[in-house]
Amino acid sequence: MQAIRSGLPFLRLEDGFLRSYGVGPGYPQLSLIVDDQGIYYDSTRPSALEVLLQSGQDVLQGLGDQVSKARSLILEHRLSKYNHAPDLPPALLHSGDRGRVLVVDQTVGDVSVSLGGASAQTFLDMLSAARRENPGATIYVKTHPEVSSGAKRGYLSDVAEEDGIVLLRQTVNPVDLIRAMDRVYVVSSTMGFEALLAGKPVSVFGLPWYAGWGVTDDRQTCPRRTRRRTVDELFAAAYFHYTRYLNPLTHRPGTIFDVIEWLVRQKRMRCRFAGKIVCVGFRRWKAANLRPLLRFGAEPVRFVRDARRAAAVGVGPDDSLVCWGREPPKGVVELAAASGARLVRMEDGFIRSVGLGSDMIPPQSLVLDETGLYFDPTRPSDLETLLNQRVWSADDLRRAESVRRFIVEHGITKYNLEPRAPVDWRPDGRLVVLVPGQVEDDASIRFGCSDVRTNLGLLQAAREAHPDAYIVYKPHPDVVSGNRRGAVLLDEARRYADHVEIRFSVVSCIEACDVVHTMTSLTGFDALLRGKRVVTYGQPFYAGWGLTTDRAAGEAAFARRHRRLSLAELVAGALLEYPLYWDPLLKGYTTCEAVLNRLVEERDRRERDGTLNGLNRGLWQRNRRKLLALWRAWRTAV
């Protein structure tokens, strides 16, 4: 009324028909309906959707094969409004059914019921009609997901299970369930339309948006709806014309296919770790940062202190025991062997965040490795196996090259902290050698280096290889910050280095150098991305594939790496396939490209407002940020 009095347009908003992966505010919506006339579930007045369907407009015009493609994808991947429900367990339905009829319940108080011309009695009448019209068939009554979770009650929650009636309280994929049925009865549920998409006969006892157009068995009529429409026309009108979509990768307006791709990715990740996930030995702050990224299965991830508590959780062959780094806590290996649970090692991905992990800043990429870990050359890793075996498609390699170009163009690294600007060195025409420092107690050095295993030793080796070169030593950001060991005293460093760089980013250093000498640093990989020559003294994941000069070529990892890779193939394995990527805003799994864009946006925003430098400098600011992270972690049950 206020809008009418003010002469302003009044818009009604509602979730779209493909809303999100899960239910509730923890899963932001990916589609939106904006209606300036009514709303689709209110049959008491026309909605913009009804007006469109009643008009003479050809709703399929201009869509080509998009309607059939989207419909096929929805059925193939069993997509619905919410998509967290597991597939239909075969044992849930009776094997001896002479026929199967689905009766769809709804939540008490659902406005689509009252505005669809129905009441509590309508549900009882529907159940009675389903039994009467399908003699001998088993009637499966499906409760709403929010009833299954205990949040609400349904109209048929108290129906007695007797001969021929089965109450399905379990959360189960609705499209999967529909496909197992011969006929579907609904009042106003969108499951009725999903049944139409699946080619099932549908009897409707209310007035949902898809009733009254000639494709449903209607027990009520709507005099306003006089046109005949096909299922494809209904689908095009509702899912293409009426609904707006978010592109989850760009966070900008998108299409139905953007949302389908996102939902399929979430379902695929759920299948990767379907059982319980039990993380052992994680610090509280790390557990708090990682908990959102590990929402694979139906059960929430559990963090426990040790193997004894992990065993008390009750792990089995479908479950996963997760530890951080190379060495599992005591007893975890034995527990995995005894229970049959998978042992998964976790680490940060190669493109992690804006800010250091040691400063407790949450990651946007992770590695979950069931074989070893990429930095541990003493055993194979999932990445090494991938690089040894995968045959990449032309599309994969084009995508990898696009990612490489984006990284180079925008100066992206693992932590994205330091200012990016041309360096002010004066090499006087000499060869410029970059020597990136590392954390000397890092596992990649302890287990992957032999002759050269310290920053000072690396500097010595670089000077010996290039006696007349201009050598730049770049300390590791964790060492500069004071978080980790590995500092080389400046006087010692300058015995071999012409310059010690602590100001400019490693990208600026790489771009200004001719060759990089490294033990196992990720800087070597960053240099390869930028077309630089790289000399390794250890066994990093990117060495041994014919792209680097390897001074430790006789070591064990190189004997296992029997292929010669292109740079695009290395990028495809290391950046596109091996890590998982996380969108903290949409709370879902995303792509490498999406995380790259988010990191660039955040880094550039911090550069503009002056907060980027504060992430890496200022003891008080950094310690304050750590204390806040610890406080948040303490308040989170682990």
pLDDT digits (tens, 9 = 90+) for 490-541: 678 889 999 999 888 899 999 999 999 999 999 999 999 999 999 999 999 9
Q: What is the dihedral of CA 21, 22, 25, 27, to 10 degrees?
A: -30
How many whole angstroms separate alpha carbon 533 and alpha carbon 259?
41
Specify the 3-state DSSP secondary structure of 31. Answer: strand
**255-296 per-position pLDDT tens digit:** 999 999 999 999 999 888 888 999 999 999 899 999 999 988
Question: Which residues does the chain have with pLDDT short of 70?
Answer: 1-7, 145-146, 148-151, 357-359, 477-490, 613-638
In this prediction the pTM is 0.89
The backbone region for 533, taken as left when phi is positive above 0, alpha when psi lies in -120 to 50, beta otherwise, is beta
- Residue 237 is classified by DSSP as I
Cβ proximity of 569 and 387 under 8 Å: yes
CA angle 211/217/219 to nearest 5° reads 80
Pairing of strands 515-518, 499-500: unpaired
Pairing of strands 31-35, 499-500: unpaired
The backbone region for 551, taken as left when phi is positive above 0, alpha when psi lies in -120 to 50, beta otherwise, is alpha
- Residue 577 is classified by DSSP as I
User: Please, how many CA atoms are within 13 Å of residue 46, restricted to the half-sphere of its CB?
Assistant: 12
> What is the per-residue pLDDT for 494?
86
**469-486 per-position pLDDT tens digit:** 999 999 876 655 554 454
Cα separation values, 91 from 95, 104, 235, Å: 8, 20, 32
Residue type, 418: E
CA angle 483/484/488 to nearest 5° reads 120
DSSP element (H, E) containing 218:
strand 217-218
The two three-digit tokens of residue 424, written as one number: 């002010």
User: Please, how many CA atoms are within 13 Å of residue 533, restricted to the half-sphere of its CB?
Assistant: 8
Q: Which residues pair with 253 in a beta bridge?
A: 246
Could you tell me which of 53, 144, 152, 166 has the C-alpha nearest to residue 100?
166
How many whole angstroms separate alpha carbon 430 and alpha carbon 466?
10
Concatenated DSSP letters of 86-119: PPPPGGGS-TT-S-EEEEE--BTT-HHHHTTT--
Could you tell me which of 593, 583, 580, 581 has the C-alpha nearest to residue 28?
583
> What is the per-residue pLDDT for 614?
62
How many whole angstroms separate alpha carbon 363 and alpha carbon 107?
39
Q: Where are the beta strands (DSSP E) in 87-210?
A: 100-104, 138-142, 165-168, 183-186, 202-204
Rg for the chain, CA atoms, rounded: 30
Count other Cβ atoms within 10 Å, centred on residue 45: 11
Q: At what angle do helices 256-272 and 66-76 cross, to 10 degrees?
A: 20
Cβ proximity of 628 and 619 under 8 Å: no
Residue type, 145: P
Cα separation values, 360 from 281, 303, 356, 485, 622, Å: 16, 17, 7, 17, 10
**311-346 per-position pLDDT tens digit:** 999 999 999 999 999 999 999 999 999 999 999 999
> What is the per-residue pLDDT for 35?
97
